[in-house]
Amino acid sequence: DPSAKGWRADGVARRIVLPRGDGEVAISDEAGRINPALAPVPLLRALLGAVGVPQAPATALATAIFEWHLPGGADLGPYRVARLSYGPPGEPFRDLAELTLVPGMTAELAGRLAPHLTFHGDSALDLAAAGPLVRRVALGLAAGERPQAAVQGAPRVLRIEVRVRLPDGAAARTAIIRLDPSEDEPAATCQVLAWL
- Residues 22-63 have pLDDT tens digits of 999 999 999 999 999 889 999 999 999 999 999 999 999 999
Say if residue 78's pLDDT is above 90: no
Q: How confident is the model at residue 123 (pLDDT cuts 50, 70, 90)?
A: confident
Q: How confident is the model at residue 74 (pLDDT cuts 50, 70, 90)?
A: confident
Say if residue 171's pLDDT is above 90: yes
- Say what the pTM is: 0.85
* pLDDT tens readout for residues 140-160: 987 777 766 655 667 789 999
Comparing CA positions, the residue from 121, 134, 163 lying closest to residue 30 is 121
Mean pLDDT over 96-125 rounds to 93
Residue 28 φ then ψ, to 5°: -135, 155
Residue 66 φ then ψ, to 5°: -60, -40
pLDDT of residue 165: 96
Say if residue 178's pLDDT is above 70: yes
Which ranges constitute the DSSP H helices of the chain?
Answer: 41-50, 55-67, 77-81, 96-99, 107-113, 132-139
Q: What is the mean pLDDT of the chain?
A: 89
Mean pLDDT over 111-129 rounds to 90
Helix (H, G, I), strand (E, B) or coil at 145: helix
pLDDT of residue 151: 58
pLDDT of residue 152: 62
Task: Give the whole-angstrom CA distance, residue 124 versus residue 35.
Answer: 8
